[in-house]
Amino acid sequence: MKRIPYLLIFLLLTLESCVIFQATKVPSNNTKNTLAGDVSKSPKIVFLGDSITHGRVSYDYVESIRNHPKLQNALVVNEGINSRLTVQILEELDSVIQLKPDYVFLLIGTNDLKATLSQEEYDRYASLWKLKDPVTEDSFARNLNLIIERIQKNTKAKIIVSSPPVLGEDPKSIPFLRSKRFAELTKDVCAKHKVSYIPLHETLTKELELLPNLPKKAYVQSTWSMYWTILKYYSTTSSWNDLGESNGYYFLTDAIHLNERGGKIFEQMILETLLSP
């Protein structure tokens, strides 16, 4: 009988390892792998961002676009990595530039804004990425400017930048208001450089306003809740929509990432850019 607890612990650790592997698996069509293969397809479309673009812990909008019937001849690259801030995007730009893309879609800012919410949030990113400098509104805007400037200077790509999505769904909460502020900063930088802007935050906000009877749950920092949601996705048949609803969200999974409902809205906005005459 004493062996049962040990067996249970072993099974839980095995399951946890499988989930971590699934959640952090690098996209096979990332920039590095793409450069090592055939790059003759056209147009070359790069999606640059964090976990929302990575698509392993939220709706994978990049893979859905990649499989669109009208984009079968396109080279679609997923350069999204979990927990990235703008500073990590800057560090990856050389390989993106080397690809000579025709389109670069950039969705970044959620982790930058989360790092401004509390010392605890910042410390997690500082530990993960060995950050030496504080993360602020100014550092976000400065890095975003540098990202756009380097792509403009070194490629002929059409740049399309999206505002970060809502953080939580309570419009009166501090995290939501912070995400709104970072959306405004993103829009200002896009206007400065005259690049296309996708109002993801604004669109999700308007959609939430159309649902007055929907309970609006705020973001509360909880790494365990996020991991538990990911665990359930990879160990059950639940969809991201199912998990979002069980957590009290309509467009999000865990107050941070997009479920199918939120992801499809963003995907459609991207397709309007790619497929318009």
Q: Is residue 52 part of a domain?
A: yes
Q: Is residue 186 part of a domain?
A: yes
Number of domains in the chain: 1
CATH number, domain containing residue 201: 3.40.50.1110
pTM of the model: 0.93
Give the pLDDT score at 231. 87
Give the pLDDT score at 111. 98
Q: Is residue 203 part of a domain?
A: yes
Euclidean distance between CA atoms 223 and 86, whole angstroms: 21
Q: Is a pLDDT exceeding 80 seen at residue 2?
A: no
**H/E element holding 61?**
helix 61-66
Instruction: Give 46-87 pLDDT, tens digit per residue.
Output: 999 999 999 999 999 999 999 999 999 999 999 999 999 999
Q: Is residue 78 part of a domain?
A: yes
Least confident window among 13-17, 45-49, 54-58, 121-125: 13-17
Average pLDDT over residues 184-201: 98
Least confident window among 62-71, 219-228, 237-246: 219-228
The distance of Cα 63 from the centroid of its chain, to the nearest Å, equals 13
Give the pLDDT score at 1. 43
Q: Which domain holds residue 199?
A: 26-212+260-275
Q: Is residue 107 part of a domain?
A: yes
Q: Is 169 exposed, middle or buried (0-12, 13-18, 19+ CB in 10 A)?
A: buried
Instruction: Give 89-119 pLDDT, tens digit per residue.
Output: 999 899 999 999 999 999 999 999 999 999 9
B/e letters for 129-138, b = 16+ CB within 10 Å, e = fewer, are bebeeebeee
CA 185 vs CA 14, 50, 197, 205: distances in Å = 43, 18, 12, 16
Average pLDDT over residues 186-196: 98
